[in-house]
Amino acid sequence: MTSVRLVLSGRVQGVGFRAFARRQAAALGVRGTVRNLADGRVEIYAAADAETLERFKERLSSGPSFGRVDAIDETPAPGFEPPAGFGVVY
């Protein structure tokens, strides 16, 4: 299992992006968390096999219908202990 930290920028807050990310993660079996950052970006910690994470990022890049993803910055998150599912952090 691989763990990554994804930071998404664009129009990703106020458009249902966290719920969208949770649905996509559930569909693919990705474990992790999603939260809004104070600077307007969205942060996701995700854990799955490498191929599933690639599919997850592809789905995230399209975003919800009213959103727009301009960039996804990815860094490894080797110490991340994923929860049983995928949750929204408030």
Catalytic residues: 18, 36
**Chain centroid to CA 49:** 15
Alpha-carbon separation of residue 7 from 38, 40, 43, 56 (angstroms): 12, 10, 5, 13
Q: Which of 38, 45, 57 is nearest to 87 (CA)?
A: 45
Residue 36: strand pairing partners: 42
